[in-house]
Amino acid sequence: MDRVEQKLQMKDEKFKRRTGTTKPVFRMKLEVLQTAHNKLHELGGQPLKNLSIGDKLLITLKHYREYTTMESIADDFGCARSTVYRSINWVEDTLSADGRFQLPGKQTLQQGVLKTVAIDVMEHPIERKKKARRVVFRRTI
């Protein structure tokens, strides 16, 4: 059983805590990524070596959910850090190009009526040592 199937076997609440998304949304993202991968490799190309499409999605969700370092994720998935980096970038680009997973834009947010806006403007002085001034004397001849 691969990693994706193990995650999908979890209860809904645990799955959402681990991945940060629900199972239907996860499956929809997986479908979008699979379609994009098939379209990208219609004419051939290298097959996936050790990471499936689901693994790439899990890597991206883990990176965002836990903000784990790429080295740690690479150790968990048995690949190189550069593979993790490329996987995250590909998943981000593919899902944002699809359009279903984008946040509403600035115009949409401005159309709504704001009830309360809170701004924290408290200033705190930075505690650090004062630099000692050196007095430089120059002799002139």
Reported as a single tens digit per residue, the pLDDT across 53-68 is 999 999 999 998 888 8
pLDDT of residue 29: 93
Average pLDDT over residues 85-104: 86
What rounded mean pLDDT belongs to the chain?
82
For residue 126, pLDDT over 70 is answered with no
User: Phi, psi (5° rounding) for residue 125?
Assistant: -70, 145
List, for residues 81-90, the tens digit of each pLDDT value: 999 999 999 9
Phi-psi domain of 42 (left: phi exceeds 0; alpha: psi -120 through 50; beta: other): alpha
Q: Which of 25, 26, 36 lies closest to 98, judged by CA?
A: 36
Instruction: List the domain boundaries for the chain.
Output: 3-103
CB of 70 closer than 8 Å to CB of 63: yes
Query: Taking the model in full, what pTM does it have?
Result: 0.70
User: Is 70 exceeded by the pLDDT of residue 136?
Assistant: no
Q: Angle, to 10 degrees, between the axis of helix 81-98 and the axis of helix 53-66? A: 90
Q: How far is CA 50 from CA 14, 22, 60, 118, 123, in A?
A: 26, 25, 16, 48, 50
pLDDT above 80 for 14: yes
For residue 133, what pLDDT band results from cuts at 50, 70 and 90?
low
pLDDT (0 to 100) of residue 63: 92
Q: Averaged over 33-50, what is the pLDDT?
A: 82
Decide if pLDDT at 1 tops 60: no
Average pLDDT over residues 112-139: 68
Is the predicted pLDDT of residue 42 greater than 90, yes or no? Answer: no
What pLDDT does 137 receive? 67
Q: Which string of DSSP letters, residue by residue, matches 23-64?
A: HHHHHHHHHHHHHHHHHHTTT--PPP-S--HHHHHHHHHHHH
